[in-house]
Amino acid sequence: MMQTIFDQYGWENAIAIPLSQGLINQTYELQTAQGAFILQNINTQVFKDPYAIDHNIKSIGQYYNTTVPDQLYTHLVPNLRGETLIEWEGKYYRAFKKIEGFALDVLTNADQAKEAAHQFGKFTASLSEFPIEALKVTIPHFHDLALRYHQFEQALKHGDANRMTEAKDAILFLQSHHAYVKQWLHFTGHQDAHLRVTHHDTKISNVLFKDDAAICVIDLDTTMPGYFISDVGDMCRTYLCPVNEACQDLNQIKVLPERWTAIQEGYLKAMGEFLTSFEKDHFKFSGQCIIYMQALRFLTDFLELDRYYRVERPGQNLDRTNNQIQLLIEFNQL
């Protein structure tokens, strides 16, 4: 019973409402006599070292406390023993104070794209003096396109044969776009490509809004050193299209040019002074790289019988793959 967890925090009259967002962790919104909180069960299949996440969120929180104390931030809530990460029945939990605001599932206009891109840009910019080496790597090689391609190739060797046949077209498409991996290696090997504090999951549901303004980024589990490509690329994945990655009707997948302009304006308003011209020249590549990588990841998981992403039906990861492939095709026509 979750009551045991509530007791550890000293929460009385707690009511837990499961939230459906996210394909990895299980999240609950809690109403308690002590206030509203977010409680999350960390998926340790994905995040093998939950203490690394705990460390990162606390380090950044402490940095803000001393530099920008009024910064809205997902500070962790300690339990009665002062612990911010608790283990119960082999599972790990942590709690956040609920920040007033709402998350969007899809965007309805370009202003929201600009707002969100600006928030994520501000997040990295606000941590430009933060000692990046203090951050732990919560998932090694998380956005390493070369590794993701390698994992895809392994799945082609060892994956489910029936699914391989079913996914024939998607496989051919991704193989024929392998040149993105070379571009990625060229980018990361260049002296003007810099590692910064990177969120690595900038989808629209990971930024809170209040009225029309984006106010705060959330879900910092994958915040670690990375390239701007990860953040801008994931924005392209989720802000440009009127429907999200769950949409199975490929005809609805369109890339709206005004949203692309909005991403650039919003992100560069915060990060323009930090990015090198070499990095700025890779702005469009960031979208190609991350959309392509997500297609690879969904397809790899499909071929490996859905070990990673939560699914409700057997073909879901292939549908997600085809959605991302269509998005990439539309994006390339911008």
User: Which partner, ligand GN1, Mg ion, none, binds residue 46 by CB below 5 to 8 Å per kind?
Assistant: ligand GN1
Residue found by looking up tokens 């990439």 in the block: 328
Judged by CB under 5 A, the stretch of 139-147, 211-219, 286-294, 314-322 that binds Mg ion is 211-219
Q: Is 219 in the site for Mg ion (CB under 5 A)?
A: yes
- Binding-residue pattern over the window 241 to 270 for ligand GN1, x denoting contact by CB under 6 A: ----x-------------------------
Positions 39 through 98 that interact with ligand GN1 (CB under 6 A): 46
Residue 42 and residue 34 in contact, taking contact as beta carbons nearer than 8 Å: no
Contact residues for 265 (Cβ-Cβ < 8 A; gap 6+): 114, 117
Q: Is 231 in the site for Mg ion (CB under 5 A)?
A: no
C-beta closer to Mg ion: residue 43 or 322: 43
Q: Is 23 in the site for ligand GN1 (CB under 6 A)?
A: yes
C-beta closer to Mg ion: residue 139 or 147: 139
Q: Is 201 in the site for ligand GN1 (CB under 6 A)?
A: yes
Q: Is 201 in the site for Mg ion (CB under 5 A)?
A: yes
User: Which partner, ligand GN1, Mg ion, none, binds residue 23 by CB below 5 to 8 Å per kind?
Assistant: ligand GN1
Q: What share of the chain is helix, strand, coil (3-state, %, to 5)?
A: 50, 15, 40
Interface with ligand GN1 (CB under 6 A), residue from 151, 222, 300, 324: 222
Residue 199 and residue 192 in contact, taking contact as beta carbons nearer than 8 Å: no
Q: How far is the CB of 203 from Mg ion (least distance, A)?
A: 8
C-beta closer to Mg ion: residue 72 or 139: 139
Residue 198 and residue 124 in contact, taking contact as beta carbons nearer than 8 Å: yes
The edge-to-edge listing of strands for the beta sheet with 207-210 is 102-103, 207-210, 213-217
Q: Is 151 in the site for ligand GN1 (CB under 6 A)?
A: no
Residue 222 and residue 139 in contact, taking contact as beta carbons nearer than 8 Å: yes
Residue 120 and residue 202 in contact, taking contact as beta carbons nearer than 8 Å: yes
Q: How far is the CB of 184 from Mg ion (least distance, A)?
A: 21
Report residue 228 as tokens. 């701007």
- Which stretches within 159-241 are classed as H helix? 161-166, 168-176, 179-188, 228-239
Residue 164 and residue 303 in contact, taking contact as beta carbons nearer than 8 Å: yes
Q: How far is the CB of 148 from ligand GN1 (least distance, A)?
A: 11
CA pair distance 88, 205, nearest whole angstrom: 28
Report DSSP state, residue 197. E
Residue type, 160: D
Q: Which of 28, 52, 32, 48 is nearest to 40 (CA)?
A: 28
C-beta closer to Mg ion: residue 31 or 244: 244
- Binding-residue pattern over the window 226 to 245 for ligand GN1, x denoting contact by CB under 6 A: -------------------x
C-beta closer to Mg ion: residue 219 or 231: 219
Interface with ligand GN1 (CB under 6 A), residue from 5, 14, 24, 107: 24
Q: Is 106 in the site for ligand GN1 (CB under 6 A)?
A: no
81 phi and psi, to 5 degrees? -95, 5
Q: Which of 206, 208, 186, 189 is nearest to 198 (CA)?
A: 206
- Which stretches within the chain are classed as H helix? 3-9, 50-67, 110-126, 145-158, 161-166, 168-176, 179-188, 228-239, 257-271, 277-280, 283-303, 316-332
C-beta closer to ligand GN1: residue 115 or 201: 201
Q: How far is the CB of 297 from Mg ion (least distance, A)?
A: 13
Q: How far is the CB of 200 from ligand GN1 (least distance, A)?
A: 7
Q: Using CB under 5 A as the criterion, which residues of the chain lie in contact with Mg ion when the complex forms?
A: 201, 219
Q: Using CB under 6 A as the criterion, which residues of the chain lie in contact with ligand GN1 when the complex forms?
A: 22-24, 46, 201, 219, 222, 245, 294
